[in-house]
Amino acid sequence: MLEKYLEMTDKYSEMKFSIRYLFCGVLLGLFLFSLSFALSGCATMGKVSGSGEPVGSTGGNSVGGKGLPPAKGREPVYRHLSYRQKKLVEGAYKLLGYRGNRIVVRGRSFNFDCSGTILAIYYYAGIDLTREFSRYTGNGVLRLYKILYYAHLLYLTKTPRPGDLIFWDNTYDRNHNGKMDDYLTHIGMVVNVYSDGTIEYVHEHIRKGIVIERMNLRYPNTYRKRINGRFVIINAPIRIKEKGKPHPSKWLASQLLRAFGKGYLYR
């Protein structure tokens, strides 16, 4: 069903391109203005950032600037990463804890939202994922999905790789109909994968800013469990809770996952 939706939006893109070609002088300004909004796939918040390199924490095993519980009995699955993957993980840690309206990386400004965060991290690693944005319609998450979909870089696995993009559905009720039918509402990026199945990912949290959280696809329906006398989150909540309503049946990052994408292989 999603593939049909992609085909329909791409046909619309072709029609839109023809009109833009005929009236390019008029539409160029509108296109540049609207592109800044098109990068947005999630809510924005906060104050304007400064300039230069990504801001925030400079590293460490953290969540929004706070340390994760020790990774006892766990070993990284992937010990040898490509240069691009290493730079992506480095860029993610540099942004931890940041809140603002804009993210500035190497002189380029990005929206402070879920897709803008990922675009900024990738740009830090020397990868510009916006090059083909004008070919597609939709918000930033949908456009990134289309770029990787047509490049055959999407896949599903229980052990993704650091640097992989993560696409989620139904992280909020975008069309306000009370149903779980909202495609491609959020995006993040894998930073660590461990032998016990734990996946740590970076994303823009609507309240906390840029954070690292966890999911484990071996136990997709487990929110948390007691380990050594304390509760440890196994799968972080990712659907925005509606005030006065209980969580829907699917509300964890593991439950709302659509696909992973090897954006670092994009050329």
Confidence of residue 3 (pLDDT cuts 50, 70, 90): low
Helix, strand, or coil here: 133? helix
**Cα–Cα distance between 170 and 210 in angstroms, integer?**
20
Query: What is the token pair recorded at 117?
Result: 């965060």
**Cα–Cα distance between 59 and 168 in angstroms, integer?**
26
Query: What is the token pair recorded at 14?
Result: 């072709």
Confidence (pTM) = 0.79
DSSP string, 98-117: --BSEEEETTEEEESSHHHH
Higher pLDDT, 13 or 34: 13
Share of the chain above pLDDT 70, in %: 73
Average pLDDT over residues 221-227: 95
Which positions ≥6 away from 173 have C-beta within 8 Å?
179, 182, 242
Neighbour count for residue 36 (Cβ, 10 Å): 13
Mean pLDDT is lowest, of 9-13, 66-70, 126-130, 213-217, for 66-70
Handedness of CA 246, 252, 256, 261 (dihedral sign): positive
**Cα–Cα distance between 180 and 172 in angstroms, integer?**
9
* Amino acid making up residue 125: A
Res. 14: pLDDT tops 70: no
Closest-CA residue to 85 (of 27, 162, 25, 26): 162
pLDDT reported for residue 247 = 82
Mean pLDDT is lowest, of 66-80, 101-115, 128-142, for 66-80
Could you report the per-residue pLDDT of 143-163, keeping only the tens digit for each?
999 999 999 999 999 999 999
User: How far does Cα 153 stand from its chain's mean position?
Assistant: 15
**Cα–Cα distance between 223 and 65 in angstroms, integer?**
22
pLDDT reported for residue 74 = 81
